[in-house]
Amino acid sequence: MRISPLPTSKIVLVTGASSGIGEATARHLAAAGHHVVLGARRIERLARIIGELTEAGYSAEYAELDVTDIDSVRGFAEAALTRHGRIDVLVNNAGVMPLASFTDLRVDEWNQMIDVNLRGTLHGIAAVLPSMRERRSGQIINIASTSAYRVDPTAAVYCATKYAVRALTEGLRQENTDVRVTLISPGFTRSELADQGGDEQARSVAKNAMDAFGLPASAVAEAIGHAVAQPASVDVSEIVVRPTPQG
């Protein structure tokens, strides 16, 4: 049997690349020799990261992106496609986690989690799947969470969005035998995720856990890098990576 050579430099799009896991993933994949396209709303952050990456000799660019807006996501993908002729990998990473009890009725934040975590992931899939199917090649990596496997108080809506991402990722994988589909589910990871929104007490519980034993974002980036590095015939379907003390 002939074994195909490992692909070298890939065109990789990362959503939510302005901080945390997305930023670490962009840095990790750029250092591995891929061309990374970073997307997020805080473009001044993206510009600073790109400056550092290009100064280090890596290949990277950025664009403003709001994953809740299908036109913004399509524009992000189409610009990359026009410039590079292909998209090899999409890392659907953007997410928000305003934690609070149901009794608070923070309906706007429930909708925000659905819009960013769930609709945003679907928008990313819609933007890249046609060209990947046409080329019969590509990889879609969705970032879920250990919250896609268990529900905790104050996190029910967040968990619901992550359970949904897990479900749709499995269906996407089943329907696509040329495009690789990967679910990455981190446990507590040090990032800015618990910095905004939600109930102050719930936020500080999450923040304290992240500070006490959270993974460095680079640990999640390495798991993503492992999935990307496999040959086209090997689909790493699912990785759960959590801090050992999380239990």
Ligand X SMILES: NC(=O)c1ccc[n+]([C@@H]2O[C@H](COP(=O)([O-])OP(=O)(O)OC[C@H]3O[C@@H](n4cnc5c(N)ncnc54)[C@H](OP(=O)(O)O)[C@@H]3O)[C@@H](O)[C@H]2O)c1
- Interface with ligand X (CB under 6 A), residue from 13, 14, 50, 66: 66
Catalytic residue among 58, 62, 149, 158: 158
CA distance 178 to 154: 39
Q: Is there binding between residue 62 and ligand X (CB under 6 A)?
A: no
Question: Which residues neighbour 185 within 8 Å (Cβ) at sequence distance 6 or greater?
Answer: 143, 144, 145, 146, 148, 149, 162, 166, 238, 239, 240, 241
- Closest by alpha carbon to 197, among 113, 118, 115, 117? 113
143 binding ligand X? (CB under 6 A): yes
Q: How many helices (H) and strands (E) does the chain have?
A: 8, 7
Active site residue 163: no
Coil/strand/helix, residue 182: strand
CB of 65 to ligand X, least distance (A): 5
Question: Taking contact as CB under 6 A, which single stretch among the options 35-43, 78-86, 102-110, 223-231 is the one that binds ligand X?
Answer: 35-43
Task: Look at residues 168, 163, 165 and name the one whose alpha carbon lies nearest to residue 152.
Answer: 163
77 binds ligand X (CB under 6 A): no
Q: Which stretch binds ligand X (CB under 6 A): 55-63, 89-97, 175-183, 223-231?
A: 89-97
What is the rounded CA–CA span in Å between residue 22 and residue 38? 8
Please identify, among the stretches 27-35, 39-47, 80-88, 224-232, the one whose residues bind ligand X according to the rule CB under 6 A: 39-47
Q: What is the binding site for ligand X (CB under 6 A)?
A: 15-22, 40-42, 65-68, 93-97, 116, 143, 145, 186, 188-189, 191-193, 210
Q: Which residues are catalytic?
A: 158
